[in-house]
């Protein structure tokens, strides 16, 4: 249950500096997403809450970063979400998300969350690929 303040205080191993910084950015993004989703639910009068799987004791869950829980604390089926910050642009992100490495998320019916600045580009690239496949 690391807060943003705790994450900022995390030590960076000089031998793994880039990896450590990316991990800290990922943890920060998870916290921000959780807070934003829960704030929206509260504003909209919804009782469901988003929770990080790490905070449920499922540290480094292989499929999900977040799940939704109901007002009794029960996990809502098919609410699992995995955040992915991959690729240097939308096209390369889609290419990575289509790889066999990410098939496990699709098989588990996990929602994938991508950076908002990649989202429209990923959709456009996917539409292009769909059209090409439909024309073959």
Handedness of CA 112, 118, 124, 128 (dihedral sign): negative
What confidence category does residue 89 fall into, taking pLDDT thresholds of 50, 70 and 90?
very high
3-class SS of residue 10: coil
pLDDT, tens digit (0-9, with 9 covering 90-100), for 97-130: 999 999 999 898 889 999 999 999 999 999 999 9
Task: Reply yes or no on whether the pLDDT at 3 is more than 90.
Answer: no
Element containing residue 107 per DSSP (H, E): helix 103-107
Residue 83 φ then ψ, to 5°? -90, 135
DSSP H stretches of helix in 44-101: 90-97
Q: Does the predicted model carry a pTM greater than 0.85?
A: no
Residue given tokens 């880039």 in the structure block: 18
Task: Reply yes or no on whether the pLDDT at 23 is more than 90.
Answer: no
Q: Are strands 111-113 and 49-52 parallel, antiparallel or unpaired?
A: unpaired
Domain boundaries, the chain: 4-135
Q: Which pLDDT does position 42 carry in this prediction?
A: 97
Task: Reply yes or no on whether the pLDDT at 1 is more than 70.
Answer: no
């Amino acid at each position: 249950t690391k807060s943003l303040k705790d994450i900022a205080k995390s030590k960076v191993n000089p031998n793994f500096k880039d990896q450590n910084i990316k991990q800290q950015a990922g943890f920060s993004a998870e916290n921000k997403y959780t807070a934003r989703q829960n704030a929206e639910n509260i504003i909209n009068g919804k009782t469901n809450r988003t929770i990080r799987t790490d905070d449920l004791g499922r540290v480094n869950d292989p499929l999900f970063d977040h799940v939704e829980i109901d007002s009794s604390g029960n996990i809502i089926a098919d609410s699992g979400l995995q955040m992915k910050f991959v690729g240097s642009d939308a096209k390369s992100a889609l290419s990575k998300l289509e790889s066999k490495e990410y098939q496990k998320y699709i098989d588990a019916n996990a929602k994938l969350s991508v950076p908002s600045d990649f989202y429209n580009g990923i959709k456009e690239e996917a539409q292009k690929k769909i059209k090409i496949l439909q024309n073959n």
